[in-house]
Amino acid sequence: MREEISPPKGFRDFPSEDEILRKEIFARIEKVFQKYGFDPIETPIVEKWETLAGKYSEEAENRLIWRFKLPYSDKEFGLRYDLTVPLARFIARFNPKLPFKRYQIGRVFRYEDPQKGRYREFWQCDVDIVGESSPLADAEVINVVVDVFEEFSFKNYTIKINDRRILREIFEKFLGINDYSTILKIYRTIDKLDKIGKEKVLLLLKELNLGEKVLKQIESFIDASKLSNEEIIRYLESFDSNEIKVAVEGLKTILDFSKKRERIRIDLSLVRGLDYYTGMIYEAIVEEPKIGSLSGGGRYDDLIGIFTGNKIPAVGGSIGVERLIDAGLELGIFKKERKTYSKVGIVYTKEVDVKKVWEIADYLRSKEINTFVPFKGYSRILDGIRDLDKRGIKFALIVGRKEMEEGKLTLQNLVTRERFTVELEEIGKIVKG
Amino acid sequence: MREEISPPKGFRDFPSEDEILRKEIFARIEKVFQKYGFDPIETPIVEKWETLAGKYSEEAENRLIWRFKLPYSDKEFGLRYDLTVPLARFIARFNPKLPFKRYQIGRVFRYEDPQKGRYREFWQCDVDIVGESSPLADAEVINVVVDVFEEFSFKNYTIKINDRRILREIFEKFLGINDYSTILKIYRTIDKLDKIGKEKVLLLLKELNLGEKVLKQIESFIDASKLSNEEIIRYLESFDSNEIKVAVEGLKTILDFSKKRERIRIDLSLVRGLDYYTGMIYEAIVEEPKIGSLSGGGRYDDLIGIFTGNKIPAVGGSIGVERLIDAGLELGIFKKERKTYSKVGIVYTKEVDVKKVWEIADYLRSKEINTFVPFKGYSRILDGIRDLDKRGIKFALIVGRKEMEEGKLTLQNLVTRERFTVELEEIGKIVKG
């Protein structure tokens, strides 16, 4: 019997050389989060269906959430679709001291059509600030994202920002479209701008029967996204709307408090797909190297209230690391350099007492040196060196007949090919240096 | 609308003070794994149902696996029940250089009745050695487990070991029970020995209609588990069976190569529930502090062959950290000492320029000092100090009117209550020291 060896479609295995790199990338992102005073929490992979229902979008709810019943339960469950709705539930449950700043790095699940860079199980790295309505919190989230980009030395990136309140006001008040589902459809269509271009967006909008005048206005609105930040701000300040004024003040604060003001671009065509956003929204794109959209998020001042019963403002950002890692590997920014955490491997021949070899390994391990010991002696030292080399282990500690007779050890650096005659106690200094 | 705020039954949220402790415990376990030359891999949470089916036990398959279909798919899936079957699939898929030593720390899912220390989602920390049939590999797994116990300074622990081949030979050859399902039932009954005691085990065995003579032999066999290692080995060596001889040699090697021989006890009544074990099995119990069973595993030489088509021996061990953490907290071995990774919090009053505060924070963060900045100035310095204190932040950097006027900063250690007048550049030295 030979069984199917692939994971389900859209799911992945990570061999050690991938996993070691991924762990390093996660650790670097985590360090940025911690620098800003965010602390970790964890929530389950499985949530009650009721927790997830009605929070995302119709499309998510009807096609994308991993939703199921078990044979032994009449309850409905879902695998978490993001880390934000679980956070909102968490806040209601634990009522932490506000403002509450948490980060979370973990898997989320979407029933997507798998394609390059898009999976059914993928990792999000999220920071959120709960209980703070000041645009300073928005600015902090943006700065964390900037710092992550700087951490990986990206040269050319843009953080597009917008505000849902601007969109809502312009559509409702100035275009007279009060039907939320139509507004959502318009949002979703505009959201495709980057992917399908302006002409196709206008064609799709036409199908919504909005009328010639409204269409023209949306077009000019889309065109406004080409303007400079200062021009857009002036354009927005011309609207007689308190909501828009507040939103514009927020955008100005974000620009003012940003670590990299020149990287931030107000983009009125940015809408983002999830229903729960209420204020500032952003999306971050890395143009050099060409990686694409790496991070998105925004303000969701109503989501937590669904769970707590009273309104608690919140803002957050999510870094999708799959594209960072996939594209980074392809572009050579990241290399699968380490196949192993082992620093030393012991090469010994068949005539050497295995007990002695284990004692040497124990000593090295007690000195915090990760040590790989083959379970059998090699026929020839060279076989052992080749084996360790293939495993990516940098140092071979050779224990052959000669070494046993002379009571000395040989340490070989498998990269430089240098050999040293060493005492056991000296090894730490050499392999760590 | 106020929604239900609990995760599903048997699932847990981890607030920062739990999560920080958990991360530390995982990191310490991981370090032990790495010392022995194990490297990480990752596999999906979701597996195809076919991958999981038939690998564990009837009970697992029919009652315990999180098995489901989605509304949009006719395929059956399961959440991973352990990390071992996914490893076997992984080996078949990637065909890595053998012996292959991997560790994996991750969640697994079982539809259990939740109770203290037993959850529907919990974490396993596994090491496995694939492609090595030598009992030295078994010994290495046991030594890793020993080192984890030593890492946490457990004083009194026992590693019970047995071998499935001994059980099979004695039941099949010497008791004449060839029906595998009866043998499994006997195993499962004996497996309850620790929980329900010998009398009840004998009563349950009676229900299997094994006959008086067989029952007597099983009883004497159970009684043999009280003997010393040396006596049991002599008892086993009296059987005329090659299988038993090989198994006994293995147990002797494990004792011989163990770092803590005095902690290892051969226990013939140990059976372990999963179907895939074929050789050495072990279970590790911590008696002081009274934590109970913390680790189990064994040899599974046939499992990987189901996926690869050819036999590849393997042995592994799993540390269930839930009990370690739950009991450890209760017993005071672990403390939720850290609520936050933030080292410094900035206390500033309303008249201080927030821009200036953010500059200070940026400087500290650039020096790798995790810094928490409130989004609003406090009315009084004392309010800020109280706030940071509640958040568990050790150092308050005070930027009040006085500090702004004099161009100096005040740093207060919130534990010792000491105050220092400092230059920005000196802070790193103080908070790190």
Listed range (A71-80, B193-202, B378-387, B413-422) with the worst mean pLDDT: B193-202
Q: Quick one: pLDDT at residue B212?
A: 87
Q: Indicate the residue type of B51.
A: T
A346 touches chain B (CB under 8 A): no
Q: What gap in Å lies between CA A369 and CA A363, rounded to an integer?
A: 9
Name the residue facing A34 among B77, B121, B341 (closest C-beta): B341
Listed range (A121-130, B57-66, B144-153, B214-223) with the worst mean pLDDT: B214-223
Interface mutation vs chain B, best among A52, A130, A341, most B CBs within 10 Å: A341
**A390 C-beta neighbours (distance < 10 Å), count:** 10
First to last CA, chain B: 50
Fold of B16-331: BirA Bifunctional Protein; domain 2 (3.30.930)
Sheet of B121-130: strand order equals B39-40, B100-109, B121-130, B314-320, B292-299, B280-288, B156-163, B264-266
Q: Quick one: pLDDT at residue A407?
A: 83
B261 touches chain A (CB under 8 A): no
Angle at which helix A212-224 crosses helix A198-206, to 10 degrees, equals 150
Q: Quick one: pLDDT at residue A229?
A: 96
Cβ atoms of A147 and A35 closer than 8 Å: yes
Look at A39 and B341 and tell me if their CB atoms are within 8 Å: yes
Distance between A257 CA and the closest CA of chain B, angstroms? 7
What value does the mean pLDDT of chain B take? Answer: 93
Q: What gap in Å lies between CA B227 and CA B64, rounded to an integer?
A: 35
The answer for residues whose C-beta is within 8 angstroms of residue A358's C-beta and 6 or more apart is: A373, B257
Name the residue facing A375 among B22, B136, B368 (closest C-beta): B136
B340 touches chain A (CB under 8 A): yes
Q: What gap in Å lies between CA B127 and CA B421, rounded to an integer?
A: 51
Asked if residue B8 has a cis previous peptide bond (ω within 30° of 0), the answer is no
Q: Indicate the residue type of A361.
A: A
Confidence band of B175 (pLDDT split at 50, 70, 90): confident
Query: Structure tokens of B237?
Result: 């060596």
A39 chain-B contacts, CB cut-off 8 A: 16, 19-20, 339-342
The answer for residues whose C-beta is within 8 angstroms of residue B187's C-beta and 6 or more apart is: B167, B271
Cβ atoms of B201 and B222 closer than 8 Å: yes
Look at B46 and A101 and tell me if their CB atoms are within 8 Å: no
Name the residue facing B375 among A132, A306, A391 (closest C-beta): A132
A376 touches chain B (CB under 8 A): yes
Confidence band of B21 (pLDDT split at 50, 70, 90): very high
Q: What gap in Å lies between CA A146 and CA A33, rounded to an integer?
A: 11
Segment B94-102 mean pLDDT: 97
Q: Quick one: pLDDT at residue B127?
A: 98
B409-413/B419-422 β-pairing: antiparallel
Q: How many helices (H) and strands (E) does chain B have?
A: 17, 16
Q: What gap in Å lies between CA A50 and CA B35, rounded to an integer?
A: 45
Closest CA to B354 of A262, A301, A137, A98: A137
Distance between A326 CA and the closest CA of chain B, angstroms? 16
Q: What gap in Å lies between CA B359 and CA A143, rounded to an integer?
A: 13
Tokens 């310095």 label which residue? Answer: B381
A14 chain-B contacts, CB cut-off 8 A: 41-43
Which residues 192-231 of A are in CB contact (within 8 Å) with B?
none
- The hierarchical CATH code for the domain B344-432 is 3.40.50.800
Based on the number of CB atoms within 10 Å of its own CB, is A326 exposed (0-12), middle (13-18) or buried (19 or more)? middle
Q: Quick one: pLDDT at residue B279?
A: 96
Which residues 274-313 of B are in CB contact (within 8 Å) with A?
306-309
Angle at which helix B16-35 crosses helix B321-331, to 10 degrees, equals 120
Residue B166 phi/psi, 5-degree rounding, is -65, -45
A180 touches chain B (CB under 8 A): no
Q: What gap in Å lies between CA A164 and CA A269, rounded to an integer?
A: 10
Angle at which helix A180-191 crosses helix A198-206, to 10 degrees, equals 160
Q: What gap in Å lies between CA A112 and CA A105, rounded to an integer?
A: 20
B409-413/B292-299 β-pairing: unpaired
Q: Quick one: pLDDT at residue B248?
A: 98
Q: What gap in Å lies between CA B268 and CA B224, rounded to an integer?
A: 7
Q: Torsion angle, CA of B358/B364/B370/B372, rounded to 10 degrees?
A: -30
Look at B111 and A77 and tell me if their CB atoms are within 8 Å: no
Query: Structure tokens of A379?
Result: 């026929």
Return per-residue pLDDT of chain A as tens, 433 residues: 577 899 999 999 999 999 999 999 999 999 999 999 999 999 999 999 999 999 998 889 999 999 999 999 999 999 999 999 999 999 999 999 999 999 999 999 999 998 877 899 999 999 999 999 999 999 999 999 999 999 999 888 999 999 999 988 988 888 888 887 788 788 888 888 888 988 999 999 999 888 888 888 888 888 887 799 999 999 999 889 999 999 999 999 999 999 999 999 999 888 887 789 999 999 999 988 888 889 999 999 999 999 999 999 999 999 999 989 988 888 888 998 899 999 999 999 999 999 999 999 999 999 999 999 999 999 999 999 999 999 999 999 999 888 888 888 999 999 999 999 999 999 999 998 6
Q: What gap in Å lies between CA B329 and CA A429, rounded to an integer?
A: 38
Look at B40 and A47 and tell me if their CB atoms are within 8 Å: no
Q: Where in chain A is the domain with CATH 3.40.50.800?
A: 344-432
Look at A109 and B46 and tell me if their CB atoms are within 8 Å: yes
Confidence band of B1 (pLDDT split at 50, 70, 90): low
Q: Where in chain A is the domain with CATH 3.30.930.10?
A: 16-331
Query: Structure tokens of A360?
Result: 């040497």
Cβ atoms of A177 and A210 closer than 8 Å: yes
Longest dimension (CA), chain A: 95
Q: What gap in Å lies between CA B210 and CA B199, rounded to an integer?
A: 16
B88 chain-A contacts, CB cut-off 8 A: none
Q: Which residue of A has its CA nearest to B136?
A: A375
**B201 C-beta neighbours (distance < 10 Å), count:** 22
A74 touches chain B (CB under 8 A): no
Residues paired with A109 in a beta bridge: A121
Tens digits of residue pLDDT in B270-323: 888 778 999 999 999 998 888 888 999 999 999 999 999 999 999 999 999 998
Cα–Cα distances (Å) from B4 to A51, A60, B359, in that order, read 7, 21, 42
Q: Quick one: pLDDT at residue B272?
A: 84
Upper half-sphere CA count for residue A112 (Cβ side, 13 Å) = 15
B155 touches chain A (CB under 8 A): no
Q: Quick one: pLDDT at residue B433?
A: 66
Query: Structure tokens of A266?
Result: 């107000």
Chain centroid to CA B356: how far? 46
